[in-house]
Structure 1
């Protein structure tokens, strides 16, 4: 009997956010007992699926009271994610993302909870030497956001060696789409302010914005715009449950998660136009500091070791699900 096959008690930090709420829903559907800890600085309480216990609080102050020895594991999503903002406010990202993770590890050590799934990022690779990017690629974090996530990864490695933690870091590429639940409800992306390309383009289609800004058209790519790998949030969520099922002993493992296919920013705008039927006016803007030209994942390790098989790899499917969620 593996860890994930039984109803276990789990803490999800940042579970009122986009990815955290989707994973919470999947955990509940799998029969687990879930508590969400979120300060709602970027999340939404109504996004927390019914059936989960909710505690409002910041990880730094609250996790020591929430995480008790009867918990079986933690899934840590509580982080700020705007790479551009991190260049302007690095201290905000070091405190929330790096120090916050240390607080999680302190609380886990005190409670004797030894299983952790960590929300990391593919942004740690910066401009890669090879594409698709394997987990063995050199890390060159291009901004404080990525650097804070990489620092947390290093902390997990040390905790595994020094204190027997069983940890998995999942390095996401660009997440998109929405989770369709059996009851007909959907859980999707609604950051405020929104910084991600697909939801911004959909807001243009919905008449909430006048135009889509694309930052840079002079990259070394076929059409000059950034190329990114997009992964459906439902497939991403499934990987977290698979990771929980492999935690049989101490150690820290890292997996890249993506579709393995890259789409340029111009291509994304075209797909949004095709799916919605609405024009997407585009305005070219200067490059943003720290934006790599191309990020595409090699997810072979996750497929081999976790048995992960993404089911929604078409970009149009991700856009369509996100569009349906936005219109609701």
Structure 2
């Protein structure tokens, strides 16, 4: 098979491209380079610069490279930005997906892997979030991911396309420093940024109903996430009954914000006391995945822990932010 990876030069996309190429899969990457970095991609993976909203480009890429499967990661993904620019998020995340699915169906592509998010669940009051937990997104970003899942399933049923939707939890770490996340949008780089600027980390709320009062999240190493994509792609390639499979990708273990900041302090050597500020609207006390379906359906389990995530992310941060 030949896989088209959209968003393939991005933080997650480049990890997926490398994991699949290293495993012997034929891969081509598509990225508009709004956040992607071409140097992240291995030499054997060709990069096409362009958007999933460009129907003619998609048709050409699918034909020229003989694409038989798609891994769709390209999307806007910042919650606050989605609240400020909801039309843009629906246009690019849902409209771009529709254009891609139409092109894929027209080219006879029969395998489609969709990058979704735990944001589709909203803030459920459960100990472990299973794939059957009701979806109730609380921001436009989560809404576009849920709408994307609906669209992927509908297109798959209409065009005989086997589909898998992977719902990521909190992604961190790097397989190599060059591949590290260069944005300052997720908690680990946000803490690094504060420390680099000689400022204390911030905790938003320490009065939640959790053991230490701070929010609990499920963190997944990006290299484990990439391996989950490889497992899902191979499941699709086997032609098994994967018509509308939806899978959580997490470790199934919760780590509090305070615990995470403690690990970051140990790794960086900067153990200053964090500042506690008021709660942010919409933050759930606890969001931890059930990883049972991933193990049963994909034969995949996360192998890396939080300290490895922080250590690898810190190496990447120092490469991209030299003193």
Q: Secondary structure at the match of 1:140?
A: coil
Residue of 178, 181, 204 corresponding to 1:189: 181
User: Could you tell me how far 1:129 is from its partner in structure 2?
Assistant: 3.3
**Structure 1, 222-231 or 165-174: larger mean CA deviation:** 222-231
CA distance in 2, matches of 1:289, 1:209: 27
CA distance in 2, matches of 1:208, 1:21: 28
User: Could you tell me how far 1:209 is from its partner in structure 2?
Assistant: 5.7
Map 1:192-207; keep pairs closer than 5 Å.
Answer: 194-205=184-195, 207=196
Note closer, same or farther for the CA distance 1:117–1:209 as it changes in structure 2 (3 Å cut): farther
Residue of 202, 205, 218 corresponding to 1:229: 218
- The reply on whether 1:260 has 2:252 as its aligned counterpart is yes
User: Could you tell me how far 1:300 is from its partner in structure 2?
Assistant: 0.2
Conservation of the 8 A alpha-carbon contact between 2:112 and 2:163: yes
User: Could you tell me how far 1:270 is from its partner in structure 2?
Assistant: 0.8
Q: Secondary structure at the match of 1:179?
A: coil
User: Could you tell me how far 1:132 is from its partner in structure 2?
Assistant: 1.0
- The reply on whether 1:173 has 2:163 as its aligned counterpart is no
CA distance in 2, matches of 1:241, 1:113: 18
CA distance in 1, matches of 2:272, 2:216: 18
Residue of 40, 52, 70 corresponding to 1:47: 40
- The reply on whether 1:238 has 2:223 as its aligned counterpart is no
Counterpart in the other structure of 2:61: 66
Q: Secondary structure at the match of 2:63?
A: coil
TM-score (norm 1): 0.90
CA distance in 1, matches of 2:92, 2:279: 26
| Residues 56-112 of structure 1: CA deviation (Å, up to 9, x unaligned) | 111101323322282121110101111122112111211111111111111101111
Map 1:1-328; keep pairs closer than 5 Å.
Answer: 8-61=1-54, 62-68=57-63, 70-180=66-176, 186-191=178-183, 194-205=184-195, 207-208=196-197, 210-247=199-236, 248=239, 251-312=243-304, 314-328=305-319
Conservation of the 8 A alpha-carbon contact between 2:218 and 2:253: yes
TM-score (norm 2): 0.92
Conservation of the 8 A alpha-carbon contact between 2:291 and 2:301: no
Counterpart in the other structure of 1:4: none
Question: Would you say how many aligned residue pairs link Structure 1 and Structure 2?
Answer: 313
Structure 2 portions without partners, runs of 5+: none
CA distance in 2, matches of 1:260, 1:288: 24
Conservation of the 8 A alpha-carbon contact between 1:204 and 1:280: no
CA distance in 2, matches of 1:53, 1:235: 23
Q: Secondary structure at the match of 1:67?
A: helix
| Residues 270-315 of structure 1: CA deviation (Å, up to 9, x unaligned) | 1100111113453333433333221100010110111002111x21
Note closer, same or farther for the CA distance 1:217–1:53 as it changes in structure 2 (3 Å cut): same
Alpha-carbon RMSD: 1.7
Q: Which runs of 4 or more aligned residues in structure 1 lie more than 4 Å from their structure 2 counterparts after TM superposition?
A: none
CA distance in 2, matches of 1:280, 1:147: 37
Conservation of the 8 A alpha-carbon contact between 2:120 and 2:137: yes
Q: Secondary structure at the match of 1:116?
A: strand
Structure 1 portions without partners, runs of 5+: 1-7
Q: Secondary structure at the match of 2:120?
A: helix
Q: Secondary structure at the match of 1:246?
A: helix
Conservation of the 8 A alpha-carbon contact between 1:269 and 1:280: no
**Structure 1, 272-281 or 114-123: larger mean CA deviation:** 272-281
Conservation of the 8 A alpha-carbon contact between 1:87 and 1:289: no
CA distance in 1, matches of 2:272, 2:86: 33
